[in-house]
Amino acid sequence: MPTSTSATTGPPADLVTADHIAPAEVRLRPAAHAALAADLRSDPTPADLTRPATTLGLTRPRVS
């Protein structure tokens, strides 16, 4: 069974792993965009999803 170096488990960790292995697949496929957006809407958002989400333009800058 594969192990993740992330503290996150489940589908969010799978997206992070996929982004490390095949970033183009995560960044170009609509199904991956939908899965990532759904994970971002869940609370709390895993910190590991920040990089792929930012790359896809799915995050908003924080306002101080």
Query: CA 60, CA 31: separation in Å to the nearest integer?
Result: 21
In a domain, 50, yes or no: yes
Query: CA 21, CA 44: separation in Å to the nearest integer?
Result: 25
CB 48 within 8 A of CB 30: no
Q: How many domains does the chain have?
A: 1
In a domain, 34, yes or no: yes
In a domain, 52, yes or no: yes
In a domain, 9, yes or no: no
In a domain, 35, yes or no: yes
Confidence of residue 9 (pLDDT cuts 50, 70, 90): low
Does residue 16 surpass a pLDDT of 60? yes
| Mean pLDDT on 16-24 | 86
In a domain, 64, yes or no: no
Query: CA 2, CA 40: separation in Å to the nearest integer?
Result: 24
Look up the domain containing 40 and give its range: 26-56
Q: pLDDT tens digits, residue range 35-63?
A: 888 887 876 767 777 778 888 787 765 55
CB 58 within 8 A of CB 40: yes
